Amino acid sequence: MEIDLALIELGVIMLTLAVLGRIALRIGLPTIPFFLVAGLFFGNGGVVAIEEAEPFIEVGASLGVIFLLFLLGLEYTPLELRQSMRSNARAGGIDVVLNVVPGVVCGLILGWGALGAIVLGGVTYISSSGIIAKLLTDLGRLGNRETPIVLSLLVIEDLVMAVFLPVIAIALSGGSLVGGVISGALSALLVVLVLRYSDKAGTGIAMIVGRSSNELALIMLLGLATFVAGVAERLHISYAIGAFMLGIAISGPVAERARELLLPLRDSFAALFFVYFALNVEPSELLPLLLPALALAVMSAVSKWTTGMLAARMSGLGKKAALRTAVTLIPRGEFSIVLAGLASTNAVGQDLMSLVVLYVLILAVGGSMLIKFTK
């Protein structure tokens, strides 16, 4: 990697994002669609190809999701989240049933076989924690009545993925299904245990961080967030859910201090996440798959909307809060791309990756717009 070119490319990208973000805020739209378009502009097959800076952007994108979910977790205590998850367990089951079906049906129609259909079912099932977290923060909805329901469903989805990812990865590689099931079950058990006892660990973290200067507190928080996220990913648990659990373990004055210190970093690296998401997309390959992707997007948007409405009504929310719950769950993102990448490297449908990228772009942009304009 040539450092000078990498720095120039990165500088151009960041300046472009600043201009696009300013335009988005001026016209009252979310910044996410603009950042996705920037990724297409600078990506493979775009107007200006970025090469030297791409490794840094990849790492920066992961940090963006980590910071997004870590700061989101700071808004809630372990007790609040456990109570919310228990009360929304039935809605989580409905979420699985309603949102896996569109992907499975589409995969079978396209002739990708049972395994490809199951992968596509996972793609349509899981919402984007990164995009939703950014929108909830940008739109000032963290304190809304529906937000704990949304977060509970996202955490339940990540728990399901903790089981699903190792199972499907082993199945795609031709390995033992029993081994995949055992690995997934252990991962899910570990997540539940951490969630159950995280408040005790949080007390020690709060004592250490609370006594440090701003400089040392920031370094410590960055180290904790990246370390926990890395360990979670190593154990086949989402690094996003690892960062989220660390956030909920910290409460009180230390949580407020952490928000102040990490807020600028979160916004900067989150922008890189959305750029990286679209960076490796070849625009010319998307057009032939536009109609299947659009049909799949519509079906899964409706199924996720139905899930949100049912979950909100089960919790006794009013019509407006139920509608906000429904549309907030629509965007798809990082997990869908991960699943598609697993399948494409194992020759389960040559067009699966391109279809999923287009599908996610449609729902990332369309879902963001729906969330923005649903009051």
CATH number of the domain to which 246 belongs: 1.20.1530.20
Q: What does the pLDDT read at residue 187?
A: 65
Please check whether residue 37 lies inside any domain of the structure.
no
Q: What does the pLDDT read at residue 190?
A: 65
Please check whether residue 13 lies inside any domain of the structure.
no
The answer to whether 293 touches 115, Cβ cutoff 8 Å, is no
Please check whether residue 142 lies inside any domain of the structure.
yes
The answer to whether 146 touches 325, Cβ cutoff 8 Å, is yes
Query: Taking the CB of residue 350, how many other CB atoms lie within 10 A of it?
Result: 9
Please check whether residue 127 lies inside any domain of the structure.
yes
Please check whether residue 277 lies inside any domain of the structure.
no
The structural domain count of the chain equals 1
Please check whether residue 46 lies inside any domain of the structure.
no
Q: What does the pLDDT read at residue 86?
A: 78
Segment 14-28, tens digit of pLDDT: 999 999 989 987 877
Q: What does the pLDDT read at residue 347?
A: 56
Structure tokens at 364: 């990332």
The answer to whether 368 touches 300, Cβ cutoff 8 Å, is no
Please check whether residue 21 lies inside any domain of the structure.
no
User: Which residue, among 49, 131, 97, has the nearest Cα to 336 in the 3D structure?
Assistant: 131
Q: What does the pLDDT read at residue 198?
A: 64
Output 250-256 pairs: Cβ under 8 A, ≥24 positions apart: 250/73, 250/74, 250/202, 250/205, 250/206, 250/209, 251/74, 251/77, 251/199, 251/202, 251/206, 252/206, 253/210, 254/205, 254/206, 254/209, 254/210, 255/74
Residues of the chain with pLDDT under 50: none
Q: What does the pLDDT read at residue 207?
A: 72
What is this structure's pTM?
A: 0.76
In terms of residue numbers, what domain contains 148?
76-265+289-373
- Share in percent of the chain as helix, strand, coil (round to 5): 80, 0, 20
Please check whether residue 207 lies inside any domain of the structure.
yes
> Reduced to 3 states, what is the DSSP secondary structure of residue 184?
helix
Q: What does the pLDDT read at residue 356?
A: 85
